[in-house]
Amino acid sequence: MVSNIIHIWVLPIPPTISPEEERRLLSILGEQEMSRYQRLSNRSRQIQYLLGHALARFKAASLLNLFPQNVPLIFEEGGKPRLEGNSGWHCSLSHTSELIAWAMAPFPVGVDLEGERVIKNPLKIARRFFSTTEVAELESLDEMAQQKRFRQIWCLREALYKAETDSPHPWQFELFHFFQHVMALAAATSALPQVIVEKVVYQEFLIFPVP
Ligand SMILES: CC(C)(COP(=O)(O)OP(=O)(O)OC[C@H]1O[C@@H](n2cnc3c(N)ncnc32)[C@H](O)[C@@H]1OP(=O)(O)O)[C@@H](O)C(=O)NCCC(=O)NCCS
């Protein structure tokens, strides 16, 4: 199984999903996911959650050669997704109100998406969360460049936080810009990973066999 590839699937969130599609997607979630979905009171957050977890299951299913409902996807107490068993795959999930990203790799991996928004007082936040080198870099930039760099650093730090583990391998980072988003990737591997980013069309879900 082992390769040096990081797979990332990116799904633009459709404007609506029909009740029938929703039922269909709900039928593949695990118990833990179902109970979390039911506890979400915000409707758009519910749809985001459902599509994120459906994307995770459909794509993990294709790599693991399983049905989506049989993918052993669980969530640790802090919310970190994990594929149980000895497949060797690591995974990470991120969503904004417009996009979802699901990453899988044969080594620890974290993915994070940040949509375009104006950050109020980025230096104040940076001084609290970023390193002195990062703060110094931001201080040297004009307002527009500062906004852009702040989002990149924030996103990279979130990706690293999501992947964090005691891996003996060095961290590798990648940044992507698309659909007015920044996407950051952190991976613990000694060799330079090959990253495959694939855009997923929502309609793909509707023809996939589910129970
Ligand atoms: C938990 C956290 C990482 C989520 O990130 P986010 O940008 O708010 O939201 P995203 O949509 O990108 O990611 C959410 C997904 O991350 C995953 N996730 C949640 N907690 C996680 C954790 N501890 N580790 C790894 N993944 C986690 C889940 O799959 C979740 O999706 P789900 O709720 O649908 O299952 C973030 O809120 C957090 O607590 N960060 C702490 C680190 C910090 O302080 N960063 C500041 C910048 S330096």
Residue whose pair of structure tokens reads 């989002």 in the numeric block: 151
Does ligand 1 have an atom closer than 6 angstroms to the CB of 114? no
pLDDT of residue 206: 76
Token look-up 């991120």 returns: 94
Phi/psi of residue 19, each to 5°?
Answer: -60, -35
Q: Which of 8, 33, 94, 111 to mutate to test the pocket of ligand 1 (most atoms within 8 A of CB)?
A: 94
Minimum CA distance residue for ligand 1 atom 6: 94
Ligand 1 center to 138 CA (angstroms): 24
CB atoms within 10 A of CB 211: 9
Which mean pLDDT values do the consecutive 10-residue runs of the chain (211 residues) have? 86 93 94 96 95 96 94 95 94 97 97 95 97 98 97 97 88 94 96 94 78 64
Residue nearest to atom 36 of ligand 1 (CA): 158
Whether 154 lines ligand 1, by a CB cut-off of 6 Å, is yes
- How far, in Å, is the centroid of ligand 1 from the Cα of 162? 6
Could you tell me the two tokens for 149?
């760099």
pTM of full prediction above 0.85 = yes
Top CATH class, 5-205: alpha beta
| pLDDT at residue 155, rounded to an integer | 98
Q: How far is CA 114 from CA 96, 98, 163, in A?
A: 7, 10, 17
Q: Is 157 in the pocket of ligand 1 (CB under 6 A)?
A: yes
Alpha-carbon distance 56 to 201, whole Å? 14
